[in-house]
Amino acid sequence: MQLYNKLSAKEREALLEEAGEDRLTISFYQYAKIGNPELFRNHLFVAWDQMEVLGRIYVAHEGINAQLSVPAKKFNTFKAFIDDIYFLKDIRLNIAIEQDLKSFLKLKIKVRSKILADGLNDETFDVTKKGEHVDAEKFNQLISDPNTILVDMRNHYESEIGHFQGAITPDVDTFRDSLDIIEEDLKEHKEDKNLVMYCTGGIRCEKASAYYKHKGFKKVFQLEGGIIEYTRQVREKEIENKFIGKNFVFDHRRAEKISEDVIAQCHQCGKPCDTHVNCANEACHLLFIQCEECAEKMDDCCSDHCKEIHALPYEEQKALRRGKHNSNKIFKKGRSEVLKFKH
Ligand SMILES: [Zn+2]
Ligand SMILES: [Zn+2]
């Protein structure tokens, strides 16, 4: 029984190009009690590997969180397989707006202690006592109500390129940080205001809404399926779109364009731009926004220092990295002194 990838990302990329088949980029999550995550993981791997599913999936005692890509012609088989798992039956699959053949190049299913790195102690509150789920139409109504406070539950580099009109976008690096900041800011309004929240695909709100109810907020709402599902409904039902800019996503595509607005700026020259890149210096890899001109001028790097290193022969770069830990900029996404136009 083969339980791990046999192909490298490069080999897979070549195969996908050769096959040229349509693939669907899908995400879903579910909180559920899973007794033996290791066994469940292997069960998924064997089945999905056969269906040529690719993606990044986390399995834990608390549930599953999956971002994946499925060959279009295998979609029905995939759906039938999911429906056979009792806690996944009829689960809503978020299907990406823009499809990319190469959104994922490997099937990675990892057993983790949690499906969402939330930094919370689960024993303190009940995750099943969550906020009221609302669809796009109800969400639009709620956010035009003056009695509503709208909060973006994502991190700074996500809301920077796109968010809902009028949303509070906390300047945070982690989900845990945003929970405290929002609670402190809104503590006067626990009873009287509607607390409406959203995130990319809904999973962060699942936890956050339960957390705020536990903290005494009375009217808590969450956008069901997040920005991904909102956009699908807006397009299908032709309702007004209140999201401006791009939706940051967690695969090779990096973002989906939701409206034509460009609300961010190049972190190097300040001109309007909302394209995230990673610094080409492998020892840096900083995530930041860079326009095409700056990319050319800087050789795809975040700073002159990185540009110098990137210009060295590969073996010399490797020698420089030896013995050093990976730069923690990889985790400090989009924050660095060298970026003049990052606010
Ligand atoms: Zn620029
Ligand atoms: Zn760099």
| Residue-by-residue pLDDT tens, the chain, 343 positions | 678 888 888 888 888 887 778 899 999 999 888 999 999 999 999 999 999 999 999 999 989 999 999 999 999 999 999 999 999 999 989 888 777 777 899 999 999 998 887 777 766 777 778 899 999 999 999 999 999 999 999 999 999 999 999 999 988 888 888 888 888 888 899 999 999 999 999 999 988 999 999 999 999 999 999 999 999 999 999 999 999 999 998 887 889 999 999 999 999 999 999 999 999 998 899 999 999 999 999 999 999 999 999 999 988 888 888 766 655 444 456 678 888 888 7
Task: Tell me what pLDDT residue 34 has.
Answer: 92
CA of 159 to the centre of ligand 1 (A): 19
CA of 253 to the centre of ligand 1 (A): 20
CA of 269 to the centre of ligand 1 (A): 4
CA of 272 to the centre of ligand 1 (A): 8
Residues of the chain with CATH 3.30.70.100: 9-111
Amino acid at 47: A
Residue pointed to by tokens 């970026």: 339
CA 28 – CA 34 distance, rounded (Å): 16
CA 63 – CA 178 distance, rounded (Å): 23
Residue 305 CA: which ligand is closest? Answer: 2
* DSSP alpha helix (H) spans, 175-291: 175-186, 203-214, 226-237
Residue 279 CA: which ligand is closest? Answer: 2
Residues labelled as active-site residues: 199
Top CATH class, 122-232: alpha beta
Give the closest residue to 283 by CA, choosing from 267, 262, 260, 307: 307
Predicted TM-score (pTM) of the model is 0.82
Residues of the chain with CATH 3.40.250.10: 122-232
Residue 327 CA: which ligand is closest? Answer: 2
Residue pointed to by tokens 């995750």: 127
CA 132 – CA 281 distance, rounded (Å): 45
CA of 325 to the centre of ligand 2 (A): 15
**CATH architecture under which domain 9-111 falls:** 2-Layer Sandwich (3.30)
For ion ligand 1, residues whose CB falls within 5 Å: 266, 268-269, 291, 294
